[in-house]
Structure 1
């Protein structure tokens, strides 16, 4: 049985890379094989991509390498020496990881957080000035320009990730693993991150990056390894020696093309191999980047399902407040929301959902004023929300799958009681339709992969009675198949008459799936553009280089 270990961090200066070997590793959770006889090796001074669908075993693989999980069989070696012990031993041997879900405590300052996770720190009393100076030295060497006294929770996503990388590099890190590091970053921030990883590789560090978007794989990596169903589906290969099509087939398996139902036939249906390969034709990666594939909106103007009129909100930490925002989403329309992180996207979603105070203006759902209405009242009017952070806002990680998905029915029921047996049966049908990979409905949802948690949220939120679906970064951290699956689901919801508000940092995602795109800057709408507007035009509106 795999066991989870505690985390910590050393403090020595990086001295180069090391050869990492994973030898015949299997990991069992009860009767479930998360990894089966996995072997791989990774050389120093290179960037190695590890890819696969959600649930393919990538997270378990990363946690075994970093000592968080102990393999049931096999072993991990660094420079031919077997990894001994848990995560502390792994870090002392030079292996560290930056997790997709950031690990630093939000209430701590940057200096306090870096000191807390220093495994070699003295347990004697310390002065704040001392840890602040040590933090400044680490940030100067490895990190972003950030105040050591700033609270972690107040930092932007990009800065938080920069501090996480600083923590990982501030020891004798010879092998650095990053789990979906681009999931929350803007395109510009992704380029900066990749440049940093390539620089670390030139210094001899062994870099492993878990990625889902194949264009990002080709942009940063030297080699690629594919996992599928806990096994090695494609042993490590040089990227120059493989094609997008070969990688895609390895990721999802050719056998799926005959068994999957086209997603356009029903909400929640899966995506076939042929559909995905079509999206990987020359010039494309995960999404068709230069063509707008949303069907043209009907000539007759549909009624507005969401109307914001001169809405202003209270200031919130980490994001701009809204200032006089007016916006309409009509039935059958997908409205994309673009903007540099922290320019009001979270405030907009929370204002629509009823989670933040509206100081001025009004919000209407289906001609009903809900400016100060509860979230439950809005749900009963047909509002559904796919939140920014699925783990902290979308589910209760320690609760069972059937409770997480079924809670919507409980809240919407006019009766004071419900039948657990009937609810479980309904949830079983729903998660099956949405292809949520799980062992049992009683399983804590936190044990699922990120993509399967997201599918479970869609099973709960994207229902036939949806009138307005607010989807905030709905494909963040999702694999190739799950991303296409989400896009088709949102388009199907719109085709069925719902309005969709799609908030994303991925311009290709917005341009491909939206009817029009509004750009938020400083909490205001800086532009309202057609979805086929160029990336340059959208980018100018985002940063203030020119409005439409």
Structure 2
């Protein structure tokens, strides 16, 4: 398919990328991408994971050098691959993973990103210096507070304020909505519209079509590192047509359309047999606090076989503590935990696994896999946990079993002896699912199971969870994507500051769930 070009005349683009190509070894991240962004507008760049969106943003910001490729700012070429050159030309990038030092105060963090300021200052001077700048961008925050103590959307506001210190004229935001509540997304969009009104050219790397059509003036589509559509006016394209460009098929499935925000979830709940007793029951469970987030405070929750409970909430509101408490990885000084009718307060993770507990961890590369070990070794660890010290273990038999299972789960690999670190994100997640969802699984906790996956892998994970649910497994699905939760969950609970702030049944209301996530409904 030839790239679709906007028919709108562009005299002098704010940012013009010509023939941008980026390769990493044998992998081509971008291939001959040429696109021009008109000044003073909001431009969206979309595509599946691995399409090249973040690489494109990093090229424009001078963090990656294209070979070949040319970058022009307001018609003037700048040296590619040079951050200082891009910043001097007025380009700033706010990364998806925030980069401000967490131990700094707000004013210190902004000063850290400023240029041409005096190296000598006091805290009070810094607070006065940046208070007006924050206010001008509608960022309401005490400038003496530490970055680590701020809510996620406030941290993002400070990141934008830092980026605009040098009067940037082109602001690139990489996946800015990924960690925000619905109300936080709307406040972000209000801030972006304000910047547009001031003449700033804003480029948003987005993953939801609904967001694109709600905020952007133009949309550029990348697929597999290639340009599919360049700066198409959003007023001329509909959600289904845009979905086809992103996915590359003429008729995206209903689930695929939900994944990329081209349509709303179905909200069709699975029929739960109320007479069946809960497989997991938590009563007033509290945990000790740690450095990874708030502790649980008197959490009560039950889930029956054949039920999917979605856990919504802005990240860092007790979701990790919930998993740790159920798994037995954190001390539970008060409350009651019952699994399969048995008190498990004094049972360790091995005992709980033998009772049917399975966990898809938050971070697949650090918590779910040993990247330096082979595929068959990663798969076999679950089998080895169920064996005694004196039990005979046949490596060859484990290899044969792993091959059969990985093939059944459609994991793409060259050999069972290859390292897990060589797998793509989607295949790595399939490997974890293949290991965890076995015939003895009765309660599956899936923590952010589709994060970083492309549409195909996401749909595979959704299907695997539904099939496990239909076999009678109870599933706790933790996700920051409300569309995912709405489409697959039977019930949704909202975590806020270590407590269950609300519970919802289908049909779900985005506004109500979003309000519960921020405490606005209290």
Larger radius of gyration: 2
What is the aligned residue count? 506
Deviation at 1:452, TM superposition (A): 6.8
Indicate the larger mover: 238-247 or 522-531. Answer: 522-531
Deviation at 1:227, TM superposition (A): 0.8
| Cα distance, 1:104–1:278 mapped onto 2, change above 3 Å | closer
1:97 matches 2:97: no
SS of 1:105 mapped into structure 2: coil
From 324, 328, 332, give the equivalent of 1:358: 332
Taking the TM superposition and a 5 Å limit, the aligned residue runs for 1:478-489 are 480-489=455-464
1:23 matches 2:18: yes
What is the CA–CA distance in structure 1 between the aligned matches of 2:514 and 2:479, rounded to whole Å?
13
Give ranges in structure 1 of 5+ residues lacking alignment: 1-16, 258-272
What is the CA–CA distance in structure 2 between the aligned matches of 1:306 and 1:199, rounded to whole Å?
48
What is the CA–CA distance in structure 2 between the aligned matches of 1:538 and 1:393, rounded to whole Å?
29
Aligned to 1:337: 311
Deviation at 1:328, TM superposition (A): 1.0
Aligned to 2:107: 111
Deviation at 1:400, TM superposition (A): 7.3
Aligned to 2:136: 141
From 246, 249, 259, give the equivalent of 1:251: 246
What is the CA–CA distance in structure 2 between the aligned matches of 1:453 and 1:99, rounded to whole Å?
24
Aligned to 2:281: 307
From 179, 189, 207, give the equivalent of 1:184: 179
Taking the TM superposition and a 5 Å limit, the aligned residue runs for 1:153-192 are 153-192=148-187
Taking the TM superposition and a 5 Å limit, the aligned residue runs for 1:373-452 are 373-375=347-349, 377-388=351-362, 402=375, 406=379, 408-409=381-382, 412=385, 414=387, 426=402, 430=406, 433=409, 441-442=418-419, 444=421
From 259, 264, 269, give the equivalent of 1:294: 269
Indicate the larger mover: 63-72 or 339-348. Answer: 339-348
Taking the TM superposition and a 5 Å limit, the aligned residue runs for 1:510-525 are 510-521=485-496, 523-525=498-500
What is the CA–CA distance in structure 1 between the aligned matches of 2:207 and 2:343, rounded to whole Å?
41
| Cα distance, 1:203–1:324 mapped onto 2, change above 3 Å | same
Aligned to 2:68: 73
What is the CA–CA distance in structure 1 between the aligned matches of 2:16 and 2:486, rounded to whole Å?
41
1:152 matches 2:147: yes
| Cα distance, 1:332–1:75 mapped onto 2, change above 3 Å | same
Aligned to 1:5: none
Aligned to 1:509: 484
From 40, 56, 60, give the equivalent of 2:55: 60
State the Cα RMSD in Å.
3.9
| Cα distance, 1:506–1:143 mapped onto 2, change above 3 Å | same
1:494 matches 2:489: no
- TM-score, normalising length: structure 2: 0.82
SS of 2:279 mapped into structure 1: strand
Residue by residue, what CA displacement relative to the aligned partner does 1:35-69 show, whole Å, maximum 9, x if unpaired? 11111111121111111111111121111111111
Residue by residue, what CA displacement relative to the aligned partner does 1:76-96 show, whole Å, maximum 9, x if unpaired? 221122221422322222111
Indicate the larger mover: 505-514 or 34-43. Answer: 505-514
Deviation at 1:157, TM superposition (A): 1.8
Deviation at 1:71, TM superposition (A): 0.7
Q: Is the Cα–Cα contact under 8 Å of residues 312 and 494 in structure 2 kept in the other structure?
A: yes
SS of 1:68 mapped into structure 2: coil
Aligned to 1:212: 207
Aligned to 2:229: 234
| Cα distance, 1:477–1:318 mapped onto 2, change above 3 Å | same
From 80, 83, 88, give the equivalent of 1:87: 83
Residue by residue, what CA displacement relative to the aligned partner does 1:498-538 show, whole Å, maximum 9, x if unpaired? 21112344444333222222344554434443222544554
Q: Is the Cα–Cα contact under 8 Å of residues 213 and 286 in structure 1 kept in the other structure?
A: yes
| Cα distance, 1:428–1:177 mapped onto 2, change above 3 Å | farther
SS of 1:469 mapped into structure 2: strand
Q: Is the Cα–Cα contact under 8 Å of residues 306 and 363 in structure 1 kept in the other structure?
A: yes
